A and B are shown apart, each in its own frame.
Chain A
Amino acid sequence: MQEKDMLGDLIQESKEHLQEIEPVLLELERQGDALPTEMINQIFRAIHSIKGGFGFFGYKGVTTLSHSMEHLLSLIRDRKLSITNELIDALFRGIDKLKVLFDDFENSDSIPIDNEIKALDPFMGESSTEPQDTSTVRIDTLAEIEKFHTTIPEEQINDALKNGKTIYRILLSSKNDLDYKNITISAIFEIWERLGKILDFAMDLDCIKGLQGSSDTDMRYSVIYATVLEPDLLLMGLNVTPSQVRIIDMDQLNEAAARALSQSPASPAAAVSPADAALSAAAGASSQPVEESLRVKVSVLNNLMNLAGELVLSRNQLIQQYNRKLTNAIDVNRLFGEFSRTIETSLKNIKDNIHRDPSILDHIITTEVDNLKNGYIKSLTFQLKELQGVNTTLQSIDSVTSQLQENIMQTRLQPVSVVFNKFPRVIRDLSRKLEKSIELHIIGQDVELDKSIVEMLSDPLTHLVRNCADHGIELPEIRENTGKNPVGSIYLSAIQEGGKVIVIIEDDGKGLDFEKIKNIALEKRLITEQAALTMSVKEVQQLIMLPGFSTAESVSDVSGRGVGMDVVKSNVERLGGTIEIESEKGNGTKISLTLPLTLAIIPSLIIQSEKRTFAIPQVGVEELVRIRAFEVTKRIEQIQGAEVMRLRGKLLPLVRLSSLLNLVPTFVHPETNEAKPDKRTRLSDRRGTPENEDAQSNVPDRRNSNGDRRANVANAVKIVVVKTGLNHFGLIVDSVFDNEEIVVKPLPEYFKATQVYAGATILGDGKVAMILDPGGIAQRANLRFSDIDKEQIREQDIQARKTSEQTSEILLFDNGSTERFGMELNSVARIEKADTSEVEIIGSKEFLKRDGKSLPIVRIQDYLPVSSPQQSSKEFYIILPKNTEQKFGIVAQTVFDVVNTELALDTSNIKGIGVMGSTIINNRLTILLDLNSLLSAVEQRMGD
């Protein structure tokens, strides 16, 4: 377990080292040889620490790869290599691989690293043999150890490892290391034992064949040495060269031990194959993942300690005050006793003197009342004083608690630079791949966010930045042609605003082409044509976040598969954030993510359903709708068995929380105030069940006496409109309370399957409230948003048809003069030809004979203020209006046409009896006749 902890620390530390390396490499690429040696040294040390650390734990993959990288860096440091993009590429590949190895360090040795090593190889140059660096230490193999050491002191080795020591095997040559330096073997022992422990000392006896020349033999010694020293220090301390030192690979030793055991017949039971051992080790490891750790500023911890101290102080004060209360309660009791005695004596006094002289009585009463008043004030002020004491303590507890909460939150905060810092590298790689020149500007990297948010922000941000580089920034030539700086810019900034952090990704590229987006959306049938026409710019921007949307014509390996913006959006929303797009064609795109500082405390709307309290995260709440009881049946309808509501012309599916959660529905009886089971199955039902309907129709009085309970104010329907992704739905609840900042408590595993809950919280009154998850509710309720959309479209069609019906067919005619008249065709019964010879004149009135009856005819100029015809021709037309029982016919000289037109009636310019108004038809001003008023005018005249 101890080793597990150390490994966790090591991985954390190594990841930090890698983070250190990346920016320096980028800088190295930019500055080339001009980069100060100190900076190269810095990353050299970082990679060296990684190698040392993982070497210590025997992870060969990491050690080998980091060794190669370290060697390359040493060449760079010594200016033996010229900096090329390819060289930096190779190093970056190595770093990427190291990240992979860290993430799966348990299996890191089985992850192939040859490609990365191969990429590094060409730069190694001639010196790619054993580098003469102070820190290159090889790992030993068992075969080599066994060549010298007949017995391996395993127990001692394991003991030493447990104590955190490294086991080295050091090779010595008797001539080079001892004779020439005039050191004896005992001196070696003396020095070495000071820095560590010699576990085994062996010599190569094979090199001595016989007496002849034995004293002149260069003896080879091999020492197994345990020490806490790092390889580089070891080399210094023992005055040996790296080529002499090996780190002993414990895995191989263990294997050897296992082999020895399995070979020994005495203990066959103990035979464990190394594979099994490795398996069980791996299984044990994977069941206990390395716990995440977090670096916290000491100042924050100090603050926390201070606050905790203050909290303890306040608690002590409270206890003290409570104790004092107890003793004071006796005082209070005494005071009240006195007070009641005062009342008693006062009353007695008054009673005794009740028959006395009024002036004396008056005096007595006044004094007694004063007495009472004083006694009352005395006991009351005493109480108040006590309460005031408690109040200040409570205030201090209150403020300390909020500060504590804030501070604890701070311990989880991490600067966004943790995420931002990886983008210079991303941009570098992308600009090379896409052959664009892009400059990245990072602003506000010190802004802090909750660790979990910072971590979850990484993927969406990467996607957005990639989008900017791939789709946003144009190729340098195109940029130059459009008068832009050939070098594109991407701005990545973070701003803290109140309890929120806004992360902005902005580019100065080509921007979003709204028409193109619309067309693609139409092509992919993501929207209807009808919708495309009426869409606002904001709505079009939303389109790019629909699943399956991509404007890129070709799929590149950078982006363009059309999975992306929807994932970004859902990721950001999962974090409780919102996403906003601003773009201008040709002038770049700006995407703003608004994120909460923390996920642990969220503002929520508290609601109640069937007496149970729930919280809905405020980010998901769009609006609250209250439908008055008597409007329920009108505003809530059913579509395919599901309840929907019409909200500003749009259909909103409804979910009744109580039935979703299978809570027993109740209603509060308006008179008795008691809760009774509600038998209605749907809000839109007029009555619960047919039986009920019958029962009620049998007793019609009941309705009158009790009133429709749905008309009761308390029975208004409250709907919380929540959004999930692009969809909205209404949640029917019983009551809506306040907004509250709630602390989210995660739910245990077995609650996960319920979908509808995002967590739980404890409210101010100590009760537990579940936090609702809008997305889960929509899923659980089986909301089919597409059905709703279809219905919406169908209705729009009907609406469209209706408006087309609003256009009228107008009969156009004139009276032989310049004016043009019109009347609605459907108010015309028929048109007949007539001849002036048929007209009979009686007085000032003219008649035509039709069907054996006389028909008065009307000349428009007689009624309306219009000009008269210059000359009347022999033939003319009679227009017989409908519904006038053929009381008159209108004289028309020419009947032009019947046009279908939308009536844009102007009633202000031309007014008068029989005139409905004027409109422009076929570019001519046309006077529309009002048959009703014309008729009454005609009748009046006829009556004259």
Chain B
Amino acid sequence: MKPETNAVNKENGVDDSHICKLETNGDLSGHRVRRLEEEFAEAITAMTFKKVQLDISSAHNIDSPGIALCVGLYKECKIKKMEFEIIVNDELRRIFTLVNLDKILPIKES
């Protein structure tokens, strides 16, 4: 099965300061979201990172489970005291702004 997460780069497997880059492929909507959640979990439960970077800039659309997923990941990082960063494109940024997520999630423009 082709992973939904395009690249999970473990640049430095041992170092706490390493960054976990999670890059999604395509829209964050529909049944794909559930799978992404599993993959994300796999990627970040194995070890502790200094920072988790979620790149969803390839998506054009996001539905509410998608949003919930982003929030879930953000909360997970908070619990594990990891930094969190989300990279979005203009379209997604607009949606995030509408629902006031831009005030909660640290957004980094692609």
Q: Tell whether A pairs with B.
A: yes
Seen from chain A, the residues whose Cβ lies within 8 Å of a Cβ on chain B are 174, 178-179, 184-186, 189, 198, 200-203, 205, 208-217, 219, 221
Asked whether, in the complex, the Cβ of B99 is within 8 Å of the Cβ of A211, the reply is: no
Give Cα distance in the complex from A707 to B53, angstroms: 128
Interface size classification for chain B: 20 to 34
Residues of B close to A179: CB separation below 8 A: 63-65
Give Cα distance in the complex from A210 to B34, angstroms: 14
User: Is B12 positioned at the interface, with any CB of A under 8 Å from its CB?
Assistant: no
User: Is B29 positioned at the interface, with any CB of A under 8 Å from its CB?
Assistant: yes
Asked whether, in the complex, the Cβ of B99 is within 8 Å of the Cβ of A208, the reply is: no
Seen from chain B, the residues whose Cβ lies within 8 Å of a Cβ on chain A are 29, 33-34, 36-37, 40-41, 44, 61-69, 71-73, 75-76, 79, 95, 98-101, 104
Q: Which of A200, A208, A209, A211 counts the most B-chain CB atoms under 10 A from its CB?
A: A211
With contact pairs A185-B95, A189-B98, A208-B68 given, residues A215 and B61 touching in the complex (Cβ less than 8 Å):
no
Asked whether, in the complex, the Cβ of A211 is within 8 Å of the Cβ of B40, the reply is: yes
Q: Which of A211, A212, A215 counts the most B-chain CB atoms under 10 A from its CB?
A: A215
Residues of B close to A211: CB separation below 8 A: 37, 40-41, 44, 69, 72-73, 75-76
Picked from B65, B76, B95, the residue with its CB within 8 Å of the CB of A174 is B65
How many Å from the CB of A378 to the closest CB on chain B? 95
Asked whether, in the complex, the Cβ of A214 is within 8 Å of the Cβ of B69, the reply is: yes
Residues of B close to A201: CB separation below 8 A: 98-100
Residues of A close to B61: CB separation below 8 A: 184, 186
Give Cα distance in the complex from A216 to B31, angstroms: 10
A-B contact pairs, 11 of them (CB 8 A): A174-B68, A184-B61, A198-B98, A203-B101, A211-B41, A211-B44, A214-B75, A217-B65, A217-B68, A217-B72, A221-B99
Asked whether, in the complex, the Cβ of A184 is within 8 Å of the Cβ of B29, the reply is: yes
New contact pairs (9) apart from A212-B41, A215-B68, CB-CB < 8 Å: A184-B63, A201-B100, A203-B71, A203-B99, A203-B101, A211-B37, A216-B65, A217-B72, A219-B64
Asked whether, in the complex, the Cβ of B100 is within 8 Å of the Cβ of A215, the reply is: no
Give Cα distance in the complex from A201 to B99, angstroms: 5
Residues of B close to A198: CB separation below 8 A: 98
How many Å from the CB of A187 to the closest CB on chain B? 10
Residue on A nearest B41 in the bound complex, by CB: A211
Residues of A close to B34: CB separation below 8 A: 215-216
Residue on A nearest B104 in the bound complex, by CB: A205
Asked whether, in the complex, the Cβ of B75 is within 8 Å of the Cβ of A209, the reply is: yes
Asked whether, in the complex, the Cβ of B98 is within 8 Å of the Cβ of A215, the reply is: no
Asked whether, in the complex, the Cβ of B98 is within 8 Å of the Cβ of A185, the reply is: yes
Lowest 7 A-B CB distances belong to which pairs? A214-B72, A174-B64, A211-B76, A215-B65, A215-B37, A215-B33, A210-B76
Residue on A nearest B97 in the bound complex, by CB: A201
Residues of B close to A215: CB separation below 8 A: 33-34, 36-37, 65-66, 68-69, 72
Give Cα distance in the complex from A185 to B99, angstroms: 8
Picked from A185, A186, A214, A216, the residue with its CB within 8 Å of the CB of B71 is A214
Give Cα distance in the complex from A463 to B69, angstroms: 73
Q: Which of A198, A205, A208, A221 counts the most B-chain CB atoms under 10 A from its CB?
A: A208
Residues of B close to A209: CB separation below 8 A: 75
Asked whether, in the complex, the Cβ of B100 is within 8 Å of the Cβ of A202, the reply is: yes
Residues of A close to B65: CB separation below 8 A: 174, 179, 215-217
Residue on B nearest A207 in the bound complex, by CB: B68
Asked whether, in the complex, the Cβ of A200 is within 8 Å of the Cβ of B72, the reply is: no
Q: Which of B66, B79, B95, B99 counts the most A-chain CB atoms under 10 A from its CB?
A: B99
With contact pairs A211-B37, A214-B37 given, residues A186 and B95 touching in the complex (Cβ less than 8 Å):
yes
With contact pairs A179-B63, A185-B95, A186-B95 given, residues A208 and B71 touching in the complex (Cβ less than 8 Å):
yes
With contact pairs A189-B98, A201-B100, A215-B36 given, residues A210 and B64 touching in the complex (Cβ less than 8 Å):
no
Residue on A nearest B72 in the bound complex, by CB: A214
Residues of B close to A221: CB separation below 8 A: 64, 99
Picked from A178, A216, A217, the residue with its CB within 8 Å of the CB of B63 is A178
